Amino acid sequence: MEFTLLIVIIPLFVFLFLALAGHKLKPGIAGITGTAGMAIAAALSYAAAYIYFFDTAKIDGVYQKITPVSVEWLRFTEKLHIDLGVLLDPISIMMLVVITTVSLMVHLYSIGYMHGEKGFQRYYAFLSLFSFSMLGLVIATNIFQMYIFWELVGVSSYLLIGFYYTKASAVAASKKAFIVTRFADLGFLAGILILSFYTGTFDFDLLTADKGSLVISSTAGASFIGLSAATWAMALIFMGGAGKSAMFPLHIWLPDAMEGPTPVSALIHAATMVVAGVYMVARLFPVYAFATPEVLTMIAYIGAFTALFAAIIAVTQTDIKRVLAFSTISQIAYMMVALGVSGFGGHDGLGYMSSMFHLFTHAFFKALLFLGAGAVIHAVHSNEMGDMGGLRKYMPVTNITFLIACLAISGIPVFSGFFSKDEILVAAAHHDTLLYVALWAVAGLTAFYMFRLYFNIFWGKEREYHHKPHEAPRIMLFPLLFLAVLSCVTGLVPFSDFVSSDGKPFDTHLNWSIAAQGVSVALLGIAFAMVLYRKESDKPARIAAGLGILYTAAVKKFYLDEIWMFITQKVIFKCISAPIAWFDRHVVDRTMNLTGQATEKLAWLIRDFQSGKVQSYAWMFIIGALLITVWAICM
């Protein structure tokens, strides 16, 4: 299985090639190079998945973790060292497949979407850099390697959000994304350090082996402000995951990240990078489940709150990419809840399995939604719902594929989202009624806002278009169709045969009563959206007016941005940073300046000695010699 290393290495070389030689290439060649590299990586991932699942990795019916490549990179002590390597287990294989597939589709789609853009080669270089980092993240053998690639995906996300660097809003958004996630990563790093301080290892294998017993035994007794060291470590590590996966209250960067090119939003801010937090929790799942179940409960509640919160905001947004962004936040929170309610092993691990399942299906239908939105934006040159309407006549393929994705995300049977969402609802219902009700409500809201989006774009009143909207070119339609097919069929994958919390396959079957509840609320949402938005009417405006302040608050995203601005600008900057800056300028700097100024003054005083007059030097020399003589005689 050593060839899996190539999956990571190929995008790296493509990146280096395009970054160093890209400006000399024709844009088309650069695009084809990037796409070809990704295609090879995708093919290798499929091969790896096939070999892993059907050929080698099962021993006594349990999927083994295998480490085909591992190099020691830095050694601190006998036990504590940082390795770089490849770890293959069901979830990393699943992620390899998802990332390379979506990335390949986005590469293909971008050839059409980004056609004629300035910096086309740079765009492909960054896409390859991102793919490299994300693939490196999922195959990490230890938490430190994960952290390294974690930061790399942050950088490439920053570069791609700020791709249109002449646009002030894109620059602001890229900075915001970087700073917010970096702030969260501070927690991640602190967590890693605490964890490795006690356990003396970074290795995932050792940390998660034997039900996390290493963490439990090594942190026993250690505590800080009433919480045990393990709780602190795992909660701080989760903070990093919450930043990347846009959990409340660190979600504020994701809607703004939509300033980047739409295919980038599809790849990074919907399908892959933002699920890194979920993946990380899944990777450390045995530790969360056995050493710190209280953190897992916290994750479940944060997730449920975020899911509901983001879904409510999504209902009111008018920028189509922002609706999708909030829907992404909500769906990722769904996966977090599923992990939070999960137990370990066998059927108890249903939440774990369903979380990964939802990650898998969501990647495809959300990428499809974004790419479809990209095709719409490409056609009407606007992000605003108000500028769209009646597009189904002009863009039939986009219409159908978008509808499929909407059905999938709403959890309508046969489409993929139904299966994964149903498993999550079952897992939540087993665990906690409150969480179940929250998720159930979110399912209804999801269906409502997705179909609000759909009807507003493709139905509703036809607008005055400057020029007739046209269907996207074929190179953009192929990814749409391909992902639409995936959105239809991925739900039928018997996922629990491949991925489970303990590596043992188990049986799942649809829970009809819960499925019926989920589907009925989704249908209700769709029906509601159809009544309100299928034909242009004043009903939505009337409802909005009726809700009054609640509606305004949701449009303003519950003033979270403003609260963060207040906290950072007014509290942190004014009360902490400003005094520190004053101290630096007036005490530290002034001490240094005084030293310098005193030296200069003294130099001015004595500079006349150095006149350059030879005879005055001679005088001094003689006087000095005489004085020494006199002194010598007197002594």
Partner 1 sequence: MIPMEHYLIVSMVMFFAGIYGFIARKNLLAILISLELILNSVEINFSVFNRYLYPEHLEGMFFSLFGIAVSAAETAVAIAIIINIYRIRQDIDVRHIDKMKN
Residues at the site binding partner 1, with contacts judged by CB under 8 A: 611-615, 618-619, 622
> Hey, is 532 helix, strand or coil?
helix
d(CA 353, CA 193): 29
Residue placing its CB nearer to partner 1 in the complex, 545 or 623: 623
Residue type, 342: S
Closest distance of CB 619 from partner 1, Å? 6
Closest distance of CB 154 from partner 1, Å? 56
Closest distance of CB 633 from partner 1, Å? 16
Residue placing its CB nearer to partner 1 in the complex, 165 or 621: 621
Query: b vs e for 5-43, b when ≥16 Cβ sit within 10 Å of the residue's Cβ?
Result: eebbebbbebbebbbeebeebebeebbbbbbebbbbbbe
**Contacts with 521 (C-beta within 8 Å, 6 or more apart), sequence order:** 440, 441, 443, 444, 447
Residue placing its CB nearer to partner 1 in the complex, 61 or 612: 612
d(CA 573, CA 506): 53
Pairing state between β 227-228 and 81-88: unpaired
Closest distance of CB 631 from partner 1, Å? 19
Closest distance of CB 620 from partner 1, Å? 11
Residue placing its CB nearer to partner 1 in the complex, 223 or 611: 611
Residue 573 corresponds to which tokens in the numbers above?
């900057």
Residue placing its CB nearer to partner 1 in the complex, 55 or 608: 608
Rg (CA), the chain: 30
d(CA 80, CA 28): 47
Residue placing its CB nearer to partner 1 in the complex, 186 or 623: 623
**Is the separation of the CB atoms in 147 and 192 below 8 Å?**
yes
Closest distance of CB 613 from partner 1, Å? 5
**Is the separation of the CB atoms in 31 and 78 below 8 Å?**
no
Closest CA to 50 of 86, 1, 8: 1
Residue with structure tokens 């930043």?
243
Q: Is the link from the previous residue into 249 a cis peptide, with omega within 30 of 0?
A: yes
> Hey, is 207 helix, strand or coil?
helix
Residue with structure tokens 């980047």?
260
Residues 450, 456, 458: CA angle, nearest 5 degrees: 95
How is 101-116 classified by DSSP, letter by letter?
HHHHHHHHHHHHHTTT
How is 568-585 classified by DSSP, letter by letter?
IIIIIIIIIIHHHHHHII
d(CA 264, CA 110): 9
d(CA 378, CA 371): 10
> Hey, is 59 helix, strand or coil?
strand
Closest distance of CB 625 from partner 1, Å? 10
**Is the separation of the CB atoms in 497 and 505 below 8 Å?**
yes
Backbone angles phi, psi at 432, to 5 degrees: -160, 120
Closest CA to 508 of 346, 282, 619, 301: 346
Residue placing its CB nearer to partner 1 in the complex, 569 or 611: 611
Residue placing its CB nearer to partner 1 in the complex, 165 or 619: 619
Backbone angles phi, psi at 448, to 5 degrees: -65, -50
d(CA 566, CA 548): 24
d(CA 208, CA 89): 13
Residue placing its CB nearer to partner 1 in the complex, 601 or 613: 613
Closest distance of CB 603 from partner 1, Å? 18
**Is the separation of the CB atoms in 358 and 334 below 8 Å?**
yes
d(CA 4, CA 87): 10
Residue placing its CB nearer to partner 1 in the complex, 572 or 626: 626
Residue placing its CB nearer to partner 1 in the complex, 547 or 622: 622
Q: How many CA atoms lie within 13 A of 385 on its CB side?
A: 24
How is 229-252 classified by DSSP, letter by letter?
HHHHHHHHHHHHHHHHTT-TTSTT
